Structure 1
Amino acid sequence: MPGMIQSIERSSAVLRLLAAGPDRLRVKEIADALGLPKSTAHSILRTLEHVGFAEQDPRTARYRLGRGLTELGKAGLDVNELRSRALDWADTLAARSVESVRIGALQSGSARVVHHVFRPDDTTQSMDNGLIIPAHATSLGKVLLAYDAPAADAVARAGLDAYTRRTVTNRRALAGSLGEIRAQGWGGAVEEWEMGRAGIAAPLRTFGGLVVGAIGIYGPVERICDSRQRPRPALVELVCATAQSISRDLTGPRS
């Protein structure tokens, strides 16, 4: 039985990125968003340009959708489908980490919680489904911004509000943090939105590496972090493994 063609998956992911944002994208921005080598992203873009599916501005060297495409669906995945395909994995993550689990997606420059699993204990908790949280001050939000250059730029230009003394409010510092997330494959936030609270999150990917959401845990600093207020490696490993499992399901056949 013939195998799937990876180059087609990657090309479709590039097209969805170009369709999603209002601005043209650099080759590096596309490579960062999809986790591809810059040379690979450049080759895909040159091929798409050749067939008329992408156009490059000769002045800025940025790319946009070409006139050869009359219509292309929005980038990403319907949040209801994302939630339904991640339900079991989110429950397992909550049970294994003994922490609250959230799945999020970008919405108008913020992160929207599309699914929430309570911490499995007897503490009083409130449902966070539908909650809008600041993208630049939370682990879920920062992971989402790390793989969406236009959204990250728009959030930075709109102003980075300070929620605590640890909130990142400098555009350069935020860019550095997002670059670190791309390099390590996960993101953390310690007391950046709420004092005494911390989170760990990792990206959820569909075909071609396109990031369509993020999953993470959120709770008191003393449980999420070690004595140096760094995310506990065992929890990071759990979150990343769960994100990878969901991502494999998202690229599998739909029932």
Structure 2
Amino acid sequence: MSNGIGIAAATVDTVPGPIQSIERAAAIMNVVAEAPFGIGVGELAAALDLPKTTAHGLLRTLVRVGYIEQEAGSGKYRVGAVALGLASRPLDTNVLRSYSMNRADALAARSAESVRIGALHGTSVRIAHHVFRPDDTAQTLRVGTELPLHATALGKVLLAYTPGLTERGAGATLSAFTRRTLVAPRALSAEVTGVRGRGHATDIGEFSSERASVAAPIRDAGGRVVGAIGLVGTIDRITERGTVPRPGLIELVVAAAAGISRDLTAARPGSR
């Protein structure tokens, strides 16, 4: 009896527990995968609350086996070729469009405004779907058009929720399309922070002096922002006194974005 108990106890004692270095490597992969424009060792160490030397050692190992690559110029790290099959790939814009069409149509009908869905394309936002304003006025289809991130509501959403994107453009000279366009890095950074806090973005006369837009993020099953949906119209229709969006429109846009996100999650189950 005692021998049987002893053997059982020994068996339990030899069951391995979690291996910390593997857990840390997995956490590093997750953080790097969420930073499409790369991340520095200091940023990564801070994000995971690791000593910088520990983070650097793990990164060097992951680079050696091809799971992570280091950019020669900036020294930043991004997902390597070996891990591309494991990392989250960008959502195909045709998939985004197919899951968004019905809710975009409903949003246009309820708001009486034009609806656009955009996704990140390089350092711009590309229009993946466009629903005309439901009236008889002449309108131009904007599918495929690329718009600036810093001067549009759709673009600001992507700036706010794409890790590293704001920092990547910090040294660039931003074009001023109107007198309201945010071109100062500090002002744009504050705006992006505000977008994260509010859960929606606005553009009031920033890309076109006569037009305004409101947009909200679309998320996939893992919680990653894969696009944005927004309303576009004249300032007098979209805003109150040309200063703030009409509250009813904000609610409609946020609800449409949440609905599309739920549809994507139901179709492509995953976890955060």
Q: Which residue of 1 aligns with 2:231?
A: 217
The reply to whether residue 144 of structure 1 matches residue 158 of structure 2 is yes
Alignment of 1:2-151 (within 5 A): 14=31, 16-18=33-35, 20-24=36-40, 26=43, 42=48, 65=79, 69=83, 71-73=85-87, 75-151=89-165
Determine the C-alpha separation between the residues in 1 that align with 2:87 and 2:80.
Answer: 14
Query: Measured at CA, do residues 70 and 168 of structure 1 come closer, stay the same or move farther in structure 2, by a change above 3 Å?
Result: closer
The equivalent of 2:208 in structure 1 is: 194
User: Residue 34 of structure 2: SS of its match in structure 1?
Assistant: helix
Q: How far did residue 229 of structure 1 move?
A: 1.8
1:204 corresponds, among 186, 206, 218, to: 218
- Partner of residue 188, structure 2: 174
Verify the 8 A CA contact 2:31 2:44 in the aligned structure 1.
no
Greater RCO (CA < 8 Å, at least 6 residues apart)? 1
Contact 1:203 1:243 in 2 (8 A): yes
Structure 1 length-normalised TM? 0.78
- In 2, Cα distance between equivalents of 1:191 and 1:70: 40
* 1:192 positional shift: 0.3
Offset from partner CA, 1:118-174 (integer Å, 9 cap, x none): 000001000000011111000000111111132222333221110000000100110
Q: What residue is the counterpart of 1:35 in the other structure? A: none
TM-score w.r.t. structure 2 length? Answer: 0.73
> 1:158 aligned to 172, 186, 189, which one?
172
Distance 1:184 1:195 in 2: 24
Larger gyration radius, structure 1 or structure 2: 2
CA separation of 1:133/1:65 partners in 2, compared to 1, >3 Å: closer, same or farther?
A: closer
Aligned identity (percent) is 45
Aligned AA (1:42) = L
Distance 1:188 1:122 in 2: 26
Number of positions where the alignment pairs a residue of Structure 1 with one of Structure 2? 229
User: RMSD in angstroms over aligned alpha carbons?
Assistant: 3.3
Supply the distance in 2 between the matched residues of 1:186 and 1:136 (Cα, whole angstroms): 14
